[in-house]
Amino acid sequence: MLLNRIVSWLLGYVEILVRGPHLEKFINLATNSGLVLWDVKRVGPDVLHVKLRAHGFRRIREYARRSQATVRLHRKRGWPFSWRKMRRRRTFLLGSVLFVGGLIYLSTLVLVIRVEGFEGADRQQLFTTLAKLGVKPGVTRRSLLTRKTMVEREVMLEMPQAVWFGLNLRGVVADVTVVKRKVPPPARSSYDLIAGRDGLVTKVAVIRGTSAVKEGDTVAPGDLLISGIEWQSDKASGELVKIPVPANGIVEARVWQDIEVTEPRLCWRALPERERLTAYSLRVGKRLWPLFRLGKRPVANYSWTRWQKRLYQGRNPALVVEIIKDTWQAARWVKVVRTPAELKAAALREAAERRKYLPGRGGKRTVHWSTEGNFLKLIVTYESIQDIALIAPLKDQPPESPN
């Protein structure tokens, strides 16, 4: 029906009023001859309002005569009739052409510069820098796209307070996104380095301050490692005086860290059955379009898995394009008893995965197995070398002065 309306508007159609005692006969004669009538409405006891294409208006008079009806043209619609009116109104036609041309021309320009990430003086400085580089309202989109990489590089050189700069075009709007560099807080005037955990000291390298431990010492959390007090000779009196400084250095120790994993002997497992549904869809940014489906979705017990294949990844995460495959697999849950080999393999895999998040490097591994009811317990002790120094407020009592 929509296609018929579009074609009728392009070819032109008319609205007519048909008056007579045998309106049904008129409609039957017209439709049997191949004419297309639509929006047929009765507006009175013996009056119909009908729409038909313009080329069938002359033919319909014969059917009106045979059904003892009269036809009156009510209105003309469609492109041919509108074009005739516009040809007589040349000023309106010229204005319409200029208006459309102006819109097309304006759509090729950047009219708005929108900045996100800077405020105050930094924001004003960024606008000034962009204007010098030609990024301002009125510049063409094509010229800005060709210079996009150069603009991003120059802005990073001109504004050291920006750690990242991005320029994206959205229609007539240029979106400028800036990430401001975070300035670290000023360093404290003086502090100590203390132990953050138990360990056996293997290396002491003092950059600033006074060492309070040596290699081979055993330390506990909170023990002083490097003091923020330096003893210096007074040039006037020749005596040793203590000077507060920010302690700095490396204190490495051999530490032991435990990972505990418990695996149950009894567990529930899903055994796949024949019934399943596979659905493919296309994701563009935040929108998801279904493509096609295979099978029937299970109603009761099922497992769901998703597979994703990225087709395009731009600099903007909102423009990700990927194919997604979702599978709903019918499953039957059964209780199984895991073998000792399976329990040990699963426990070791879990321990190895957790080991990735432990600090330190190298070292040995000690494994201890135990059984607690229906559970297998694994304790893995990792020996590693790590820097255990932590910053702490300066203590009142410094180490003894050297002789």
Task: Note whether 171 and 216 are same-domain residues.
Answer: no
Residue among 348, 344, 341, 342 at smallest CA distance from 365: 348
| pLDDT value of residue 24 | 84
From residue 243, give the alpha-carbon distance in Å to each of 35, 364, 390, 398. Answer: 106, 42, 21, 10
Domain count, the chain: 5
- Contact by Cβ (8 Å): 213, 201: yes
Q: Please tell me the distance from the alpha carbon of residue 122 to that of residue 156, in angstroms, as a whole number.
A: 13
> Does the model's pTM come out above 0.95?
no
Q: What is the CATH number of the domain that holds 141?
A: 3.10.20
C-alpha radius of gyration, the chain, whole number: 41
| Model confidence at 315: pLDDT above 70 | no
| Model confidence at 306: pLDDT above 90 | yes
Residue among 141, 143, 145 at smallest CA distance from 109: 141
Token representation of residue 336? 């199984």
| Model confidence at 390: pLDDT above 80 | yes
| pLDDT value of residue 74 | 83
Q: Does residue 156 sit within a domain?
A: yes
Q: Does residue 225 sit within a domain?
A: yes
Task: Note whether 331 and 344 are same-domain residues.
Answer: no
Q: What is the mean pLDDT of residues 308-316?
A: 75
Whether the CA torsion 53, 55, 57, 62 is positive or negative: it is negative
Higher pLDDT, residue 259 or 33: 259
Which of 3-7, 309-313, 321-325, 359-363 ranks highest by mean pLDDT?
Answer: 321-325
The count of C-alpha atoms lying within 13 angstroms of the C-alpha of 35, restricted to the half-sphere facing its C-beta, is: 25
Task: Note whether 75 and 144 are same-domain residues.
Answer: no
- Contact by Cβ (8 Å): 74, 135: no
Task: Note whether 301 and 350 are same-domain residues.
Answer: no
Q: Does residue 96 sit within a domain?
A: no
From residue 118, give the alpha-carbon distance in Å to each of 101, 137, 173, 177, 317. Answer: 37, 19, 18, 9, 21
Higher pLDDT, residue 324 or 96: 324
Task: Note whether 293 and 309 are same-domain residues.
Answer: yes
Range in 66-75, 156-165, 394-403 with the lowest mean pLDDT = 394-403
Task: Note whether 150 and 198 are same-domain residues.
Answer: no
**Domain coverage including residue 12:** 2-82
Q: Does residue 392 sit within a domain?
A: no
Q: Which of 294, 313, 335 is the last residue of a domain?
A: 335
Q: Please tell me the distance from the alpha carbon of residue 26 to that of residue 20, in angstroms, as a whole number.
A: 9
| pLDDT value of residue 233 | 78
Sheet holding 162-170, edge to edge: 112-116, 173-180, 162-170
Task: Note whether 173 and 153 are same-domain residues.
Answer: yes
Q: Does residue 12 sit within a domain?
A: yes
Q: Does residue 311 sit within a domain?
A: yes
Q: At 262, is the pLDDT very low, low, confident or very high (cuts 50, 70, 90)?
A: very high
| Model confidence at 401: pLDDT above 60 | no
Q: What is the mean pLDDT of residues 81-91?
A: 77
Q: Please tell me the distance from the alpha carbon of residue 44 to that of residue 21, in angstroms, as a whole number.
A: 11
Q: Does residue 401 sit within a domain?
A: no
Q: Does residue 239 sit within a domain?
A: yes
